[in-house]
Structure 1
């Protein structure tokens, strides 16, 4: 099979070879059923740091092929060492039919992605304001529930707060980008830029959220409670915006 050309120029230099190897392997396993491979998130920016990040991607297949995914799964250890996450697997029909259920996830991909091969299925997506608002509100409430449950599960072991906040940070930044989208900011912003814009729009400071995005930092009880109350305070924005 002749493999499609790989668009690698936007990937940081030290990740170009691992990404090319990954794309080639997916093409080899998927054959004509592989319609596109799209990198998204930090890997599509100059800020990617393999000591902090892993490369995220979406593989778009014409039809879901479990046998192909089983073979790709055997590459998991190798991909992990190369700082490449397991890709999301979608079909064109899934993308089209899921914009109402997962608008924040698709908005995240659309705002910062590079199509490595095949068609760009995300560039021209459009989103319904109500879908963005409802998921943003739901995500903030879900994060708060997770924090309360996590606090109980920690059983007094405050060293677990750091891992908990790291898990929360990814969902939170996606949600905050949704809130800014509702308020007219459609372009991709880094996490720190997002927090700054939210602070400006709400006329408040968010030190707990800023700390949640800090790498290699210990998080204590004060950080946890500050983060919780800031997220709780942002809940009303989803409805108002």
Structure 2
């Protein structure tokens, strides 16, 4: 794991990014493309690769903000509903929360972490505590069923799926855990079917854009634990 330089302490990082974030939002309101705008402002502000990545994760064009906010459901809104969970997306975000990594409140209303420079393979070996916390929340929220979907390309996903199935059985939560080589496609397809009315737990923007309703589990856990996200405004 890389050690962070003191310059990337949370308050200093927020202070450094506040003005670029405001500038980018102002330009986006005129309809300019997001990535070109971020690159232009980041170059002018001499931002690092990490800082650029944070801005990319946090800032959204106005049209995305409106459509994604409308899809977000309340933390107590999954009772007797079928919940499809974007496995690594949710578990790794909750793992970041438990490790006191910065959790960012993004323009579209979702919470995201930015540990982009760690490999999922390494993180996936150390998410037992995150899984326990997620299952505790799910048990209290009482959905009709819970299905974990894991990216098969990530090492040992099959073992993790089996472990999750055992956990679900132990805790009496109806559902299962599966791997897929096309996890994002499956999430978008199943979550977009009107007849199924699934709730999808994810903060992946591309998935959110294709599904009907979304649950932000990291945000729910932060609210329950009294944690405040970092806000760039």
**TM-score, normalization by structure 2:** 0.33
Q: Name the one with the larger helix percent.
A: 1
**Higher relative contact order (CA closer than 8 Å, sequence separation 6+):** 2
**TM-score, normalization by structure 1:** 0.32
